[in-house]
Amino acid sequence: MVTMLTGLGRVSFLLLCLTVLAGPQFISAANAGDAAMTASFDGKPWTASFAQGTTLEMAGKPVLNLSGTQQGSPTMTFNSMLVLKTPGDYVGTYPFGGGFPANGANFNILDSGAMVGHVRFKSGEVVIETYDPAAKTISGHFSASGKDDDGKEADIKDGRFSGVLVSPQ
Read off the pLDDT of residues 11-54 as tens digits, 9 standing for 90 and up: 444 444 444 434 443 333 344 468 999 999 999 999 999 999 99
pTM, full prediction:
0.80
pLDDT single digits (tens) 82-124: 999 999 999 999 999 866 678 999 999 999 888 889 999 999 9
Sign of the Cα pseudo-torsion (85, 90, 95, 99, in order): positive
The residue type at 101: P
Give Cα separations from 37 to 41, 76, 93, 108, 113 (angstroms).
12, 12, 17, 15, 22
Residues near 148 by beta carbon (within 8 Å), at least 6 away in sequence: 117, 118, 119, 154
Asked whether 55 and 168 are in contact (CB, 8 A), the reply is: yes
Distance CA 132, CA 12 (A): 26
CA of residue 76 relative to chain centroid, distance: 11
